[in-house]
Amino acid sequence: MRYEKIDTRQEDLFRNRLSNQLRPDHELVKLSDKIAWQELEEEFANMHPPRGGGGRSAKPIRVVVGVLLLQYMHGLSDENVLRMWVENPYWQYFCGYDFMEWEAPIDSSSLTRWRNRMGPERLEKILSMTVKASVDCGAVKAKDLKTIVADTTVMCKNITFPTDIKLFARAREHIVKFAAKNKIKLRQNYNRVIKKLLFRANRYFHAKQMKRAKKVQRTIKTIVGRVLRDCQRKIMHNENLKKEFVSLSNKTERLLKQKRNDKGKLYSMHEDTVDCMTKGKAHKRYEFGCKVALGMTHSGTGIVTAAEALHGNPYDGHTLVKTLESSKRITGTKVQTAFVDKGYKGHGIEDVDVFISGQRRGITKSIKRKLKRRQAIEPLIGHMKNETKLGVCRLKGIKGDQVNALLCAAAYNLKLILNYMRDLLDQIFYAIFTRRTFRFLAIS
């Protein structure tokens, strides 16, 4: 199977070209010319085996990549980005079309398959493409890529706040659904019983009657164990069902055995890789997700040069190695200087000059002045969480976290480039208008 290519060479008698109608000085039009789409298509061409044996060709790579970037730039869902793509001619031109299209180029479900197909390795190429475009348009200089600011943040997962009663009820629900799907007759599914117990427990917790609430919680836990063992007995002699049930069984047993102060607890039945992190925030004491290590250029516009999702709640100082390696891989430039906060003490990096906030030894006036800009990464993280999808990851599993972090970084870089182009155009117009005004006044 091979991928299709957008062919706009043929003229259309009844439709005018978008390139003749759109504003040539629009930032999306200029940005589409700055991105090396041809190199990206050649890089992604090996995703598809050579044509043979029939089958429909894959959609154009530029269309899929363009739609994904627009989706993360505006924080839209898979369905909404395609609906707005049909309405916006600038988006269509950005994705390579030169004639107005009246239907979406792909189905919304295709974006999920494309994200899985690309994976973190190829998505790093997209982030590298945005860094190269920022250098080409002048938003950042090539020498600025040697100096970065590094920090970590928490990318929350799309789960509710975990409580023991809620997790027990969810585990029983999954087991009952598995039994119904495979026509396994349980002794009792406890659907009505659990519903009444949950209402009772919620009332007890609301009234601060903790002893009664804990008693109901133990009852629900006992019911979950009964349903689990009953299902295990019924599929004991069916190897296929045992293989299919092993994941759910292991998660339920892990849930029943875990205690309050255990490490590596299970916080969600559908996302078993979620970590619990405390970062000392007054408004949000606990956050459930994974850490994301970010790197941005110290000078210039502040382009993101590294983004990597890290699981297991690692210490910040241990993430610096991966951030520097990721920045070198994406930008093609080795980092020489890095500015970090106090959480990176004990990083162990020797071949890179690392300066920590509050450091006094070996600090010159120039370094002290540069160290004050380390805080610039904090608003960058805030904008990425509010404007892109870094605040909540709705993609599944470890791979979904890595994909979401890279796409958020690439989309945010494009937003910075668009803002830079917009401001540059305003400065040019202001200079032209001011010069004409002075000339008019001088003549008059």
* Domains detected in the chain: 18-106 (no CATH), 139-159+275-421 (3.30.420), 164-257 (no CATH)
173 or 39: whose pLDDT is higher?
173
pLDDT per residue over 323-351, tens digit each?
999 999 999 999 999 999 998 998 888 88
Burial class (CB in 10 A: 0-12, 13-18, 19+), 398: middle
Mean pLDDT, residues 311-321: 91
Mean pLDDT confidence for 75-79? 93
Please tell me the predicted confidence (pLDDT) of residue 435. Answer: 55
Is residue 104 pLDDT above 80, yes or no? yes
More confident residue, 362 or 155: 155
Q: How confident is the model at residue 147 (pLDDT cuts 50, 70, 90)?
A: very high
Alpha-helical segments (H) within 96-142 = 108-137
Residue 50 CA to residue 45 CA, distance in Å, equals 9
How high is the pLDDT of residue 52? 52
Categorize the per-residue pLDDT at 46 as very low, low, confident or very high, splitting at 50, 70 and 90: confident
Please say whether the beta carbons of 249 and 172 come within 8 A: no
Instruction: Of 15-19, 62-66, 187-191, 336-340, give the lowest mean pLDDT range.
Output: 15-19
Local structure of residue 260 (DSSP, 8 states): T
**Is 302:311 a contact under the CB 8 Å cutoff?**
no
pLDDT at 49: 59
Q: Which of 8-22, 29-43, 396-410, 428-442 has the lowest mean pLDDT?
A: 428-442
pLDDT, residue 137, reads 87
Q: CA–CA separation, 83 vs 287, rounded Å?
A: 33
Which pLDDT score is estimated for 278? Answer: 86
Residue 138: per-residue pLDDT = 87
| Of residues 233, 274, 239, the one with CA closest to residue 255 | 274
Calpha distance 390→406 (Å, rounded): 10
**151 pLDDT above the threshold of 60:** yes
Query: How confident is the model at residue 437, as a pLDDT?
Result: 53
Phi, psi for 442 (deg, rounded to 5): -70, -40
The mean pLDDT of 91-97, rounded to a whole number, is: 92
Give the pLDDT of residue 53: 52
Q: Give the number of other CB atoms < 10 A from CB of residue 11.
A: 9
User: Is residue 443 predicted with pLDDT exceeding 70?
Assistant: no
In the chain, pLDDT over 70 holds for what percent of residues? 93
Q: What is the mean pLDDT of residues 423-442?
A: 59
Average pLDDT over the chain reads: 89
Please name which of 245, 247, 242, 201 lies closest in space to residue 221, comparing C-alpha atoms: 201
141-155, 263-277, 350-364: least confident range? 350-364
The predicted structure's pLDDT at residue 441: 44
Q: How far apart are CA 295 and CA 406, in angstroms?
A: 12
177 versus 358: which is more confidently predicted? 177
Residue 150: pLDDT band with limits 50, 70, 90: very high
Tokens 């979620």, residue located: 274
Per-residue model confidence as pLDDT tens digits over 375-392: 999 999 999 999 999 999
Cβ pair 148, 315 in contact under 8 A: no
